[in-house]
Structure 1
Amino acid sequence: MTAAALAGWGGASSGWWQHAGGGYGWVGPLFWPFAYNDLYDYTIWGDGLGFWGYGYPDIYAGMFGPYGYDRLSAYLPQRPQGRRQARSAPLDQLCGSDRREITGLPIDQIAAAVQPTEAQGASLDALGNASIQAAAIIRASCPTQVAATAPGRLAAMQQRIEAMEKAVELVQPALDTFYGALTDEQKARFNALAEDQRRAAASNNAGGSLVQNCGAPGGLDWPAAEIDARLHPSETQRAALQVLQDTSARVKDALKAACQPGDVMTPPARMAAVRKRLDVMLDGVKSVRAALEDFYANLTDEQKAQFEAIGPRRTS
């Protein structure tokens, strides 16, 4: 999946929308490319760098596009013209078009660690089945068309996060049931799966703490002067723009305040933290999207084109 998702995505290694530690907010038109891996890496292994790297900067990137049309063209349907088409990463490959790439939680490793009884094994099988269904739900949220406007990008973000929430809703009760059936000794062995990664992360402090990673977006000042210079908004448009800016600021503060992954130690507790974070992310995207759509509806076609031009210039 990694190769397909990143193919043809020139310049992604240095974009301002790239996350600390080499993760990506966007790959082409796809938001949160490794969503399911990030969910279970944190839940099982305690590796939260991928998951907790998502926050307000990604909403900002949704508004002020992280890609221009020249880069989006790699993902658009090609018209046959009697010659070989350029091979890049079509939309159906961004999330893995081969179903063999859909994998669930590392059930074998969990079983080896806890040595479940027959009854516990049935609960573990149920958890494994739920996790495979959850992975399929997230894969199905892969975009089927390119979003070329800011409202469209936020709509794509909302759809992706909603799919992640549905995935968590499937896996969380199965995980709680399995974990609740374990003895204290088995729980300790399950919890220990994450201890080595946690100690390693603490020793080298790669990318800073998780709290700093998701709680302190920097360098994303609201481009008020550029919007004003490009759009020359009317009084009505300026009022809607102010609502959008104020809404974005509130969402930024809410996501920063909700960034508290550091003290969560058990897999069920980490999954509960995931769900809470996704709730805040989804609320934020919905709020900003509503304000953005109100503002956008007041713009002329020329003003919309000027607004969309802010992002690609910013990423050059």
Structure 2
Amino acid sequence: MSSRALARHYRYSAALHSPAMRASVTAGAALAGWHYGRGRGGWWRHGNGGYGWVGPLFWPFAYFDIYDYALWGPRVGAPFWYYGYDDIYAGLFGPYDYRGLSGYLPPRDSSGGPDRLSLLCGEDSREIAGLPIDLIAQAIEPTEVQRAALDDLANASVTSAQKIKAACPSSIALTASGRLASMQQRIEAMIAGVATVQPPLEKLYGLLNDEQKARLNAVAEDQERRTERRRSRSLARPCEVTQSSNLQWPAEEIETRLHPTEAQRGKLTALQDASARAAEMLATSCKPDEAATPTARLAATGKRLDVMLDAVKQVRSALDGFYATLTDEQKAQFEAIGPRRTSVADRADRRRYGRW
């Protein structure tokens, strides 16, 4: 999907408030850089059809996903919970090589259109990435005191979106360590964004009476019905453990390509163990249905992001320890696993659908 195509979606920004539309835009942008061919998908695809990584960018439209879950609940906000271990795995064995990643760089000729990554990172205006303040106001019909609190929330939401957008990558990481560093930076910005919005949301919600809360819940139910109508196929539930063989640890391929020494095998085992712990941490922390109010759900996003950050840090630390023992040739062989596995997955996909 070209930058111009993405720009068209931003001119009709209301469309991006649909989780299905965001998944479609993300898929188009992710597969545009996959020079082996579009096929029918990719092994790093989420259960809703979107992608956690688009080129060097982790978590496109992050702010939308946060507030969809916080305001409208687990069914509308399911995309937030699709992010997890699979994305760490994709960070380790990224599906793009340099040729594929180069398409995400800003065009040399500035007249060629807006930067694709900047668009996927989201605008930071109230009309685009901020909370749907007008919709909230229409639902609760705020008093003067509540209107002031709602304005504070609106300003905080824009500030939060700006923090998240600031973590959009300005360069391309061609190593697994660089990708995990970018992932960590993005999650840290999201945590800061949630912390910015949490106090004004709690203040506003505390000022609402029971009737206003009921009307806000009714809007959430309406959003849920609209989301259900747009779904044309059964979606995998968030946080399901991926059973695809494409996401199994590529121990045999690492052995064949790197021929590690005994000392390197010890570090490799530590990396594999850290990866397994990350998967377990993220599986056990996935509880999208437990929080019942917008404030509780926003707090839940913060807790989930904290776990994701810890998981990424553990894997990144183990990866750096392993990398320190490798020769330049071994590093090159390790980085080549990602594009090769993508190519193999694509060929298998086309065999399945008879598209050669």
- The reply to whether TM is greater than 0.5 is yes
When residues 197 and 85 of structure 1 are mapped into structure 2, their CA distance, relative to the original with a 3 A threshold, is closer
1:114/1:187 contact within 8 Å kept: yes
- Per the TM alignment, residue 12 of structure 1 is displaced from its structure 2 partner at its CA by 8.6
Matched, 1:225 2:261: no
Q: Which amino acid aligns with 1:68?
A: D
For 2:222 and 2:285, the matched residues in 1 are separated by: 26
1:43/1:271 contact within 8 Å kept: yes
- Per the TM alignment, residue 66 of structure 1 is displaced from its structure 2 partner at its CA by 2.1
Partner of 2:60: 33
Q: How many residues align?
A: 311
Partner of 2:71: 44
Alignment of structure 1 residues 150-299 onto 2, 5 Å: 150-198=176-224, 207-208=234-235, 212-219=237-244, 220-299=247-326
For 2:48 and 2:137, the matched residues in 1 are separated by: 30
Aligned to 1:193, the other structure's residue is in SS state helix
Provide, for residues 254-306 of structure 1, a one-character-per-residue CA deviation record: whole Å limited to 9, x for no partner: 10011111232211111111111101101100110000111011110100010
Q: Which amino acid aligns with 1:157?
A: M
For 2:39 and 2:115, the matched residues in 1 are separated by: 14
Alignment of structure 1 residues 38-117 onto 2, 5 Å: 38-46=65-73, 47-76=76-105, 89=115, 91-96=117-122, 102-117=128-143
Structure 2, unaligned runs of 5 or more: 8-25, 344-356
Q: Which amino acid aligns with 2:239?
A: C
For 1:274 and 1:85, the matched residues in 2 are separated by: 39
Structure 1, unaligned runs of 5 or more: none
Partner of 1:314: 341
When residues 152 and 126 of structure 1 are mapped into structure 2, their CA distance, relative to the original with a 3 A threshold, is same
For 1:76 and 1:107, the matched residues in 2 are separated by: 34
Provide, for residues 137-182 of structure 1, a one-character-per-residue CA deviation record: whole Å limited to 9, x for no partner: 1111100100000000000000000000000000011101100111
For 1:196 and 1:93, the matched residues in 2 are separated by: 28
1:31/1:157 contact within 8 Å kept: yes
- Per the TM alignment, residue 17 of structure 1 is displaced from its structure 2 partner at its CA by 1.0
Provide, for residues 76-132 of structure 1, a one-character-per-residue CA deviation record: whole Å limited to 9, x for no partner: 46668xxx9987955444425796875310001101101110001100110010001
Q: Which amino acid aligns with 1:308?
A: E
TM-score computed with the length of structure 1 as normaliser? 0.90
Q: Which amino acid aligns with 1:22?
A: G
Pick which of 259-268 and 137-146 moved more.
Answer: 259-268
Partner of 1:9: 33
Partner of 2:349: none
For 2:117 and 2:223, the matched residues in 1 are separated by: 33
When residues 79 and 138 of structure 1 are mapped into structure 2, their CA distance, relative to the original with a 3 A threshold, is closer
Percent same amino acid at aligned positions? Answer: 59
For 1:12 and 1:98, the matched residues in 2 are separated by: 34
- Per the TM alignment, residue 185 of structure 1 is displaced from its structure 2 partner at its CA by 1.2
1:215/1:259 contact within 8 Å kept: no
- Per the TM alignment, residue 244 of structure 1 is displaced from its structure 2 partner at its CA by 0.5
